Structure 1
Amino acid sequence: MITEAQIKAIGKVLNDETRPLKERFRALFTLRNIGGSTSIDCISEAFMDSSALLKHELAYCLGQMQDESANTVLINILQDIKQEPMVRHEAAEALGAIATPESLSILEKYVKDPVVEVAETYPAPPLNDSNIQELQNILLDDKASLFQRYRAMFALRNMRNNAAILALCEGLNHGSALFKHEVAFVLGQLQNDISVPYLAKSLENSLENEMVRHECAEALGAIGNEECYKVLNNYLNDEKRVVKESCEIALDMCEYENSPEFQYANALQVVS
């Protein structure tokens, strides 16, 4: 039985800016796994932080918790034009994941938001198509609707074979920053070594949008092989804060993937 005092102690780790970022991330994912109103309160408090990466992950975790009591804070973040685009986008995705009538009506207001990363935020079901070439053609077609391109992306992800993954990798060279960011996220979910050179190339491209580079770093951390470790170490001092921090977190994920640790979200052990 996890007590409220223990949850609040984990929340203190999350909200302590003097703690290493990797410890704060583990605290965040521990709170996500515990769930409940106290965890949501602790996560919501952390939106005061200066790290766009952390705030992006806060919104992501609230969406995964699928608790409508998180709607208020997520709506506030989406409406706050001072927040970074990647944070507002993730808040919109989280509202889509929770999918209450209230949140859906709010999302409709932002379809034409001047910030493209917000306007292009779509929850989309996969296409019912098993032809990899056809799906790749849709994925890479700049004239196709973004909704259809996302549906092709998720259909390819669900196939989980090498040909489909290589088709997805080509998506890192096409479309908006948000689109490429989503491709990288999907490749991180698949955790296949064949995507590493493509993810590394995007991370290494200093002219690429930092939102894309950040997601490529996290995908490399999820894959966690030796090559990923080498690439991520090269960008621990990147001039873009969100890239630098993403590599720090991704390396912690690499270490976890190659360790005997039972779970990544281990903050309960730390505060107990």
Structure 2
Amino acid sequence: MNMSIVEKLSEILLNEDKKYPMYQRYRALFSLKGLGTPEAVDLIIQALGKENESELFKHELAYCLGQLQDERAISTLKGLVSDSSEFVMVRHEAAESLGAISNLECIEFLKQHLADPCKELAHTCEIAILKIKHDHSVNGGSSEIHSEKANNDKSKYGPIDPAPAETKVTDVSELKQILCDQSLDLWTRYKAMFALRDINTPEAVEALGTALLNDTSSALFRHEIGFVFGEMGRTESVPYLQHALNKLDEAPMVRHEAAEALGAVIGEEKALETLKEYAADKCQVVRESCEVAIDMYNYENSKEFQYAII
């Protein structure tokens, strides 16, 4: 008897027999995210509950739950945030996903972690709280998640951003000044970051790259620049991403994001060479990110119709 599509995706996602490489599991995950059905959400939650799961994959599972904005995931995400034994990337992504789901009742929970010893988590919770408050102030204070709000949250790149793009300042040099000012709060700097992403010119890349190279305030901030570079996919970002990946004392979450962003650059052989160089990195998160990024690079430079399996 032939498997249904969802059954096959479940087999790959859960990988009980450990026969599927990470890049295939990523494709299965984003296929389920694309389906967006209750069954798909349940499978992603189930995968998050697996023992000895890859930290990289767990963080991506948590990310997808936030993007799907299904409130049934809130309990699971809270559990990840509260578990101090979880890897920092997983806890961060779970908190950011609570911000993406944007339920007002999550604010009090997030406040409990504003003084967490893990700075990346504390910073994420701070931004997630402001994100939820912003969403509900824009939409009349309703505690419900309306489709119109979800649409407003999404950038032209697709994902629900952790902060809205700055709209009052449009000059790249001014946005760069805000972005690089480490005395400012992260919310303000994030807004400048997403505004520069939306401008998406070589000058915007230079501003973002300068911040990535010089920031000493927050690994969370630097990792988000890597994510933004991945969305932009510009060749001008490659030297900055290479620098971040080459920096062995950099936080794994930053190096991971730099690797995946390199995989999104089209037609840049230097990006592929760098990924192959670090495919055997001592850090598992970086190794797996390079594996996924090489697959993404091959997809971006192929004639495949879509990255997801279906």
* TM-score category of the 2 structures, normalised to the smaller one: over 0.9
Instruction: Quote the residue 2:193 is aligned against.
Output: 153
Quote the offset at 1:8 in angstroms. Answer: 3.1
Aligned: 1:116 with 2:119: yes
Give 5+ residue unaligned stretches, structure 1.
Answer: none
Paired amino acid for 1:198:
Y
**What is the RMSD computed on CA atoms of the aligned residues?**
1.6
Identity percentage of aligned residues: 45
Question: Which runs of structure 1 show a deviation greater than 4 angstroms over 4 or more consecutive aligned residues?
Answer: none
CA distance in 2, matches of 1:39, 1:105: 28
Residue type of the partner of 1:92? A
TM-score (norm 2): 0.82
**Alpha-carbon distance in structure 1 between the residues aligned to 2:253 and 2:117:** 17
Shift of 1:5: 4.5
- 1-side partners of 2:180 and 2:195: how far apart? 14
- Aligned counterpart in structure 1 of residue 95 of structure 2, from 82, 86, 92: 92
1:259 Cα deviation from its structure 2 partner? 1.1
Q: Distance in 2 between matches of 1:171 and 1:62?
A: 29
Alignment of 1:2-151 (within 5 A): 5-16=4-15, 17-47=18-48, 48=50, 49-121=52-124, 122=127, 123-127=162-166, 128-151=168-191
Q: Deviations over 1:1-47 (max 9, x none)?
A: xxx94313311211113311111111111110011221112111222
Q: Secondary structure at the match of 1:263?
A: coil
Larger relative contact order (Cα-Cα within 8 Å, sequence gap ≥ 6): 1
Question: Structure 2, unaligned stretches of length 5 or more?
Answer: 128-161
Once residues 97 and 75 of structure 1 are traced to their aligned partners in structure 2, the CA distance between those partners, rounded to angstroms, is: 13
2:223 to 156, 181, 192: 181
What displacement does 1:106 show? 2.0
CA distance in 1, matches of 2:42, 2:121: 24
CA distance in 2, matches of 1:102, 1:11: 31
Q: Conserved in 2, the CA contact under 8 Å of 1:8 and 1:38? A: no
* Alpha-carbon distance in 1 for matches of 2:28, 2:272: 23
The separation in 2 between residues aligned to 1:88 and 1:234, in whole angstroms, is 28
The yes-or-no answer on 1:256 pairing with 2:290 is no
The alpha-carbon deviation at position 172 of structure 1 amounts to 1.0
CA distance in 1, matches of 2:33, 2:107: 22
Contact 1:95 1:104 in 2 (8 A): no
The 1-side partners of 2:87 and 2:305 are apart by: 34
1:244 to 2:243 alignment: no
1:39-68: per-residue Cα shift (whole Å, max 9, x none)?
A: 112111222243111011101111111121
User: Counterpart of 2:58 in 1: which secondary structure?
Assistant: helix
Q: Does 1:209 align with 2:251?
A: yes
CA–CA distance in 2 between the matches of 1:71 and 1:205? 35
Secondary structure of the residue aligned to 1:101 is coil
What SS is found at the alignment partner of 1:130? coil
Q: Which residue of 1 aligns with 2:204?
A: 164
1-side partners of 2:37 and 2:103: how far apart? Answer: 17
Amino acid at match of 1:184: G
The secondary structure found in structure 1 opposite 2:105 is helix
Q: How many residue pairs were aligned?
A: 265
Q: Distance in 1 between matches of 2:280 and 2:29?
A: 24
